[in-house]
Amino acid sequence: MCAFLIIDYADSLFRLSGGTLAGLFRAEHAPRLIGGPVVLAVVFFLIWNYWQGENWARISVLVWSFLLAAEELSNIVEHNGSLTAVMNHPLSFLKFAVAAFLLYWLNTRPLRSWFRHASATAADLIADRLAGKLCTAVERVGDTDGEGWKLIFEHDAELALACPWRIVLDDNLAFASTSAPDASNAEDEIRRLVQNLRVKAVRVTLRTSDLFVTFEMGLELQTWSGAPKTHPSKAKLWKYADPVLTVVADSAGLKSQSIAAAGASGPEVNG
């Protein structure tokens, strides 16, 4: 943004002067020569506060990005939807690309939390990591505590379910783990429902740790607190893991105040 600001200011001076130094210092240009640095100082102040994580500065950058993107989109529409008009001016195209990126990036949950000086909750972390991933496989697994289920996603992400869960399609029950005694038929049914579908959204309820994973086609996977009747002492409800983040939900629930952002070493976040 600083680079764009300096380039635009230099370009405005060049146009003002007509390409000559003498033309720049004419008397009629004095207001712009004096006002330009003042405007630069104000915008640099805004960018500095944006760099420091002030949310009001983030909102200002979003407004700037929206106006810039809208201007370039209007230019594209005027040329019958052709990108040639924008791409013929590399600087304008680059600004348009940066504006579009900022409109998306600054509205992601981790970024909103950071600018609000709040630690990302487990729900924020999981939603950011799992949303958009494709479910590639479904497995029924067993451990010392009994049987459970595992949904495998692309990029080495996994969701292990040890608590009761179900799949709802258009407010109708499509599958329930508590009523699936036949393992092979159950796996086939779940694969038919969710395999090769992408995750659209993820929600985790505080304290109870209930997990809601919304897929394409209107499907939603829902868990609820409580261990299976055959293993009433089981504390772990579900576990999400990928190469960067591991989140374990237990019967005590998730407390957002105690959740820290994941580091590169792949910490485990417990509730």
Contacts of 13 (CB under 8 A, 6+ apart): 24, 36
Model confidence pTM above 0.85: no
Alpha helices in the chain (DSSP H): 2-17, 21-24, 30-51, 55-78, 84-87, 90-105, 109-115, 122-130, 183-194
Which tens digits make up the pLDDT trace of 86-104? 667 777 788 888 999 999 9
Does residue 133 contact residue 198 with C-beta atoms inside 8 Å? yes
Distance CA 174, CA 41 (A): 60
Does residue 168 contact residue 220 with C-beta atoms inside 8 Å? yes
pLDDT of residue 14: 72
Identify the burial level of 200 via C-beta atoms within 10 angstroms of its C-beta, where 0-12 means exposed, 13-18 middle and 19 or more buried.
middle
- Among 169, 138, 135, residue whose Cα is nearest residue 155: 135
Where are the domains positioned within the chain?
Answer: 2-118, 123-270
pLDDT of residue 250: 76
Does residue 54 contact residue 115 with C-beta atoms inside 8 Å? yes
Mean pLDDT, all residues of the chain: 78
Averaged over successive runs of 10 residues, the pLDDT of the chain (271 residues) comes to: 83 68 56 72 90 90 91 77 68 85 88 75 82 92 70 94 91 83 75 93 84 93 69 67 87 45 44 48
Q: What is the DSSP string of 44-71?
A: HHHHHHHHTT-HHHHHHHHHHHHHHHHH
Distance CA 95, CA 102 (A): 10
Q: How far apart, in Å, are the Cα atoms of 138 and each of 30, 150, 160?
A: 71, 6, 10
Q: What is the dihedral of CA 195, 196, 199, 203, to 10 degrees?
A: 0
Q: Which residues pair with 168 in a beta bridge?
A: 173, 220
Distance CA 111, CA 269 (A): 19
Secondary structure of residue 152 in the 3-state scheme: strand
Determine the angle formed by the axes of helices 90-105 and 55-78, rounding to 10 degrees: 130
121: which DSSP letter? P
Distance CA 215, CA 91 (A): 39
Distance CA 159, CA 139 (A): 10
pLDDT of residue 232: 46
